[in-house]
Amino acid sequence: MKSRWFMMILAFSLILETAGCFLLLGKMERVRQDPVQVNECLHAVEDNWNDEAAYVNTLPFALLDTDGALLYRNAEGISGSVNEAIQNNDLILDVVVEDVTVGKMIIHNETAERINGYRTSILRIVCGMGALQLLLVLAFYFYLRKRIIRPFQQLSDFAVRVAGGNLDLPLTMDRRHIFGSFTEAFDLMRSELKKARIAEKKANDDKKEMVAKLSHDIKTPVASIKSTAEFGYEAAADERTKEMFQRINRKSDQLTTLVDNLFTSSVQDITEIAVDPGSYPAEILPALIQHADYLGKANRVSVPECRIFADKLRLQQSFDNIFMNSYKYAGTEITVDVRLEEAYLVIRITDCGEGVKPEELPLLKEKYKRGSNTKEKEGAGLGLYLTDYFLTKMDGKLVLQNANPGFAAVIYLRRI
């Protein structure tokens, strides 16, 4: 709408400029002496010679006697001699009184002055209108820059950001400019792409988390099957029975390897596993510990009365991981001690194995890190990493220590 007004004003100024110039040029073409006025002035002088009050002063003129001396002139700047009159292209007429030439009348030539005046007017019109048009063009340029060029550049930059994957920064622009609806459509596209990406990421993470959880949980019954098969192998009386238990044992090892591979590939790309802690009584702990200790290597646990901030599912997984590591790397009896310590309920789980090197303790909570004494044992190096992750999300913590002898995993659960 504003651009239309700019164009209308610019066109109107051009029309005014053209009309003014043509009008003044037409007047310049018609600049010449009026013979009627010349005759009136001449006759008035001849009829009233030497009576200056009776002269007609419609034209600027001067009177000379027969000797060329100046007798009269009615305005300044009029030629005072015949030579000056000739140089100025003035009109020179004889003044005749009673058939006797008594002098000369010089009528001043105003043509050049009037033409110069018209030229000056034309120049003023052209300069004035040109300045106005320049201002209009500059104003229109800045309007285009603000309303079209700059928004278009912002849209272009925004498209580059979206193409690069940056969907968090919104497109903040004035919705009233020429790209208003286009801008809203672009920002809506960004918003929908972001929602779709978040939904896709959540769906992928949910799938990976489910696979990781199932594959990790499968390892517990597989370990029970393997232990039973080993016990059956030792207890079997005939070779055929031993061979069947040995086959079960080998298949358990094969299944463990496949589950480890599946677990590793699923956990590797998980950006965040959901942990939803809440308030629970500490009395839930014995059952969770007993469920994790499926080989029955730990002592009975007594728990002081309090409430803890935990996710029951993730806490069970944490106990499973710690007991599985103890079975795998130590294979000894396990001591579980529960006590209150300031703002935490502390569960200390200690085996009687070899432990790890002191410099390796901080590394065990990192992904895919294992102690140097575990190379001959199967494992992905994810159990303690996930346990530390779960406990941190529950406002707790995991502390790993060498027990001299043995290895201790200490779980801190926040009291509420």
393 within domain boundaries? yes
Domain that holds residue 307: 275-416
Spell out a b/e string for 366-391, using b for 16 or more CB atoms within 10 Å of the CB, else e. Answer: eeeebbeebeeeebbbbbbbbbbbbb
Residue 114: partners with Cβ closer than 8 Å, 6 or more residues away? 28, 31
Residue type, 336: V
Q: How far apart are CA 340 and CA 337, in angstroms?
A: 10
End-to-end, the C-alpha distance of the chain in Å comes to 66
pLDDT tens string for the chain (416 positions)?
566 777 788 788 888 888 888 887 777 666 566 788 888 888 998 888 888 888 888 888 999 998 889 999 888 888 888 898 888 888 899 999 988 899 999 988 877 777 788 888 888 888 888 888 888 888 888 877 877 777 777 777 777 777 766 776 676 655 565 566 666 776 777 778 778 878 887 777 777 777 766 776 777 787 778 888 887 888 888 888 888 888 788 778 767 766 766 666 666 555 567 788 999 999 999 999 988 887 889 999 999 999 999 999 889 889 988 998 898 888 899 999 999 999 999 999 999 988 888 888 888 888 777 766 666 666 667 788 889 999 999 999 999 999 888 999 999 999 99
242 within domain boundaries? no
295 within domain boundaries? yes
CB count in 10 Å sphere of residue 239: 9
Q: Which helix (H) or strand (E) holds 389?
A: helix 383-393
342 within domain boundaries? yes
Number of domains observed in the structure of the chain: 1
| φ/ψ bin of 70: left (φ > 0), alpha (ψ from -120 to 50), beta (otherwise) | beta
Cis peptide before 405 (omega within 30 of 0): yes
Nearest to 231, CA basis, from 213, 245, 251, 216 = 245
27 within domain boundaries? no
**pLDDT the model gives residue 232:** 84
**pLDDT the model gives residue 159:** 73
Q: What is the pLDDT of residues 285-307, one digit of tens each?
A: 999 998 888 788 999 999 999 99
Strands 307-310 and 344-350: unpaired
Q: How far apart are CA 376 and CA 371, in angstroms?
A: 11
User: Does the predicted model carry a pTM greater than 0.75?
Assistant: no
360 within domain boundaries? yes
361 within domain boundaries? yes
Strands 61-65 and 70-73: antiparallel
CATH number at residue 288: 3.30.565.10
254 within domain boundaries? no
**pLDDT the model gives residue 396:** 96
Residue 102 phi, psi (nearest 5): -105, -10
